[in-house]
């Protein structure tokens, strides 16, 4: 099994999320986006225990007749990463390979449904994303695919880095992603009324709505990571070289490891004192256990109360990547601990994880262990 190595104020919490007492039918965790410019589009994704999160799309056949297309399977990663395609696949499609093996895909055509504004006719649309940079890579197993897909893209490949304007969201249990797309990038098909159910709303008195805010300004990473994360009571740890690293934890939509879906680099696992019972070898990850994982969230009316999600004695997977220090939380993690989980970027440019979690997994931040020097 493989892993893809990558990718706020209280008032804003209230604007993006709604809190309803558990006795009533809860409101959706995030309000629908009403675009002031462009079209709000919903793209169906597939994700299960055997396949990474992906969607169907098409690209133009480079040496085909006008309008001749190639069907592709696109893996979509929530972490910011450069897109990839294998050398074998790129050649098979008929594209030229540049000497530096960096190329640009002129256009990706994605089937979608228009959510807003409400269309006069059918909701079927095509989203056309242009000029996406790709690295052409050698697969380690000789296959065409990149971890089971024809193309591997990050969400920022779809937004072009304009996350504030696109407001991308991944609805994990609902199996779709949404984004606001400029009118010029939309083709209306009027071929039918493409629909999908509204986002899930779980009514359970034992669940508490939470919002986890991400930051991209912390030490050691430019990827969105939780503003607070600790492993075995440590927020920082020292590598054998003496370098001090921060515990950085982020959401990864293509880290498709079994429940509880937590993956660590060897640097982080060793530095934080994880119990490793199987060492990673070649492309196969190792396994182990940590005594505690803490992630900072906000709860309560208006999401003003700071609490930690605290997991005790949880299994982890460990990868032998010595270039990074990171904790990835994948789809199986969201499924296990977050009902109605939604991960997305708001108009303020801040990424957040929304969900409903079991009340007994939340603790006051005063229960955090005293800070230890690495």
pLDDT band at 144 (very low <50, low <70, confident <90, very high): low
pLDDT band at 374 (very low <50, low <70, confident <90, very high): confident
Least confident span in 155-159, 215-219, 262-266: 215-219
pTM of the shown model: 0.89
- How high is the pLDDT of residue 286? 95
How far apart, in whole angstroms, are the C-alpha atoms of residue 33 and residue 116?
8
Question: Can you list the domains of the chain with their CATH numbers?
Answer: 31-188 (2.40.70), 207-367 (2.40.70)
DSSP label of 301: G
- What's the chain's Rg over C-alpha atoms? 21
CB burial readout 292-329, b (16+ within 10 A) else e: bbbbbbbbeeebebebbbbbeebebbbbebeebbbbbb
- How high is the pLDDT of residue 1? 36
Q: Is the pLDDT of residue 259 over 70?
A: yes
Question: In angstroms, how far is CA 177 from the centroid of its own chain?
Answer: 10
Q: Is residue 200 within 8 Å of 25, Cβ to Cβ?
A: no
Q: CA dist 7 to 34, 111, 143, 249, Å?
A: 27, 24, 23, 11
């Amino acid at each position: 099994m493989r892993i893809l190595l990558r990718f706020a104020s209280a008032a804003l919490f209230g604007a993006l999320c709604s809190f309803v007492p558990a006795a009533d039918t809860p409101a959706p965790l995030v309000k629908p986006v009403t675009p002031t410019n462009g079209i709000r589009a919903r793209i169906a994704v597939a994700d299960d225990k055997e396949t990474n999160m992906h969607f169907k799309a098409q690209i133009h056949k480079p040496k085909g007749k006008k309008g001749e297309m190639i069907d592709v399977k696109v893996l979509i990663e929530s972490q910011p990463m450069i897109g990839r395609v294998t050398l074998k696949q790129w050649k098979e499609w008929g594209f030229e390979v540049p000497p530096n093996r960096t190329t640009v895909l002129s256009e990706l055509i994605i089937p979608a449904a228009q959510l807003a504004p409400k269309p006069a006719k059918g909701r079927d649309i095509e989203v056309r994303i242009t000029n996406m940079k790709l690295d052409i890579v050698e697969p380690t197993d000789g296959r065409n695919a990149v971890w089971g897909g024809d193309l591997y893209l990050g969400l920022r490949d779809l937004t072009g880095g304009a996350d504030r304007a696109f407001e991308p969201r991944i609805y994990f249990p609902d199996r779709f992603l949404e984004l606001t797309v400029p009118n010029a990038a939309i083709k209306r098909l009027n071929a039918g009324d493409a629909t999908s159910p509204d986002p899930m709303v779980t009514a359970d008195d034992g669940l508490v709505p939470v919002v986890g805010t991400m930051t991209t300004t912390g030490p050691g990473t430019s990827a969105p990571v939780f503003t607070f994360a600790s492993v075995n009571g440590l927020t920082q740890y020292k590598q054998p070289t003496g370098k001090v690293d921060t515990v950085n934890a982020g959401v990864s939509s293509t880290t498709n490891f079994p429940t509880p879906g937590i993956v660590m680099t060897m640097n982080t696992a060793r530095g934080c004192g994880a119990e490793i019972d199987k060492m990673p070898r070649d492309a196969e990850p190792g396994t182990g256990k940590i005594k505690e994982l803490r992630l900072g969230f906000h709860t309560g009316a208006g999401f003003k109360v700071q609490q930690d999600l605290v997991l005790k004695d949880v299994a982890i997977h460990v990868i032998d990547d010595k270039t990074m220090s990171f904790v990835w939380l994948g789809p199986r993690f969201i499924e296990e601990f977050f009902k109605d989980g939604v991960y997305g970027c708001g108009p303020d440019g801040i990424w957040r994880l929304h969900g409903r979690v079991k009340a007994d997994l939340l603790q006051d931040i005063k229960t955090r262990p005293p800070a230890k020097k690495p």
